């Protein structure tokens, strides 16, 4: 089970950016919640390199989406072999409300390994790039690599926010990114990371907006 409270559908805080065409781009943080219930155009799967399913978010997405997701993953594997950490591919969403699943492989955390940070950033950059290439407007992420791969949540959150801001600011199609987080502790870490990012980057085009209570 990955959902603690799947009734939570809104956001607690979000980062917003006004665009030149009078619309807005946003990065939202929601939880505790179940990413398989998301209605964004795509959800991101924290996959393993085999793309054949596994535990945690990966297994939950395959179970909820049904065999069509795995069938497309097998086709991809037959062409490219295993998927490297930091890379991303896209499949159908099968029975999910989301039309697509973007599969990305997070890095296994090792203290002092700068390469892990770069690969985690790439997971977010590549997923948003792929969504943009496919004309999608919204995408939901889990907390990549913070489960069995052992990435400290505070560090993962900081990297996720900075890379997502970078990718979303330059995206032509994607307008909304949601972080759909498993528990309240992870949600708080991502909120803190967003607030810290804006304090450290006062010239960022994004501003913080809090949900009314």
- For the chain, the first-to-last Cα distance in angstroms comes to 28
In 134-183, where does DSSP find H-type helix? 153-170
CA–CA dist 5, 3 (Å, integer): 6
CA–CA dist 40, 5 (Å, integer): 18
- 194 contact partners, CB below 8 Å, separation of at least 6: 13, 15, 27, 29, 161, 208
CA–CA dist 3, 185 (Å, integer): 14
- 37 contact partners, CB below 8 Å, separation of at least 6: 3, 6, 97
Q: Which of 5, 21, 41, 58 is catalytic?
A: 58
Is residue 171 within 8 Å of 132, Cβ to Cβ?
yes
The question of whether 203 is a catalytic residue gets the answer no
DSSP state of 5: -
Catalytic residues: 58
């Amino acid at each position: 089970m990955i959902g603690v409270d799947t009734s939570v559908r809104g956001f607690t805080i979000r980062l917003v950016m006004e665009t030149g065409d009078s619309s807005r781009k946003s990065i939202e943080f929601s939880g505790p919640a179940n990413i398989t219930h998301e209605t964004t155009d795509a959800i991101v799967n924290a996959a393993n390199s085999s793309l054949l399913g596994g535990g945690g978010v990966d297994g939950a997405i395959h179970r909820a989406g049904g065999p069509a997701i795995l069938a497309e993953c097998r086709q991809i594997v037959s062409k490219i072999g295993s998927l490297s950490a930091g890379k991303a591919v896209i499949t159908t969403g099968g029975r999910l409300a989301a039309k697509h699943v973007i599969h990305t492989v997070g890095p296994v955390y090792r203290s002092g390994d700068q390469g892990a940070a770069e690969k985690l950033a790439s997971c977010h950059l590549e997923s948003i790039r792929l969504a943009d290439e496919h004309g999608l407007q919204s995408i939901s992420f889990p907390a990549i690599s913070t489960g069995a791969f052992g990435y400290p949540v505070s560090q993962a959150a900081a990297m996720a926010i900075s890379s997502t801001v970078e990718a979303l600011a330059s995206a032509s199609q994607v307008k909304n990114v949601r972080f759909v987080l498993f528990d309240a502790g992870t949600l708080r870490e991502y909120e803190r990371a967003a607030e810290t990012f804006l304090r450290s980057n006062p010239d960022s085009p994004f501003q913080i907006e809090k949900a009314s209570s």
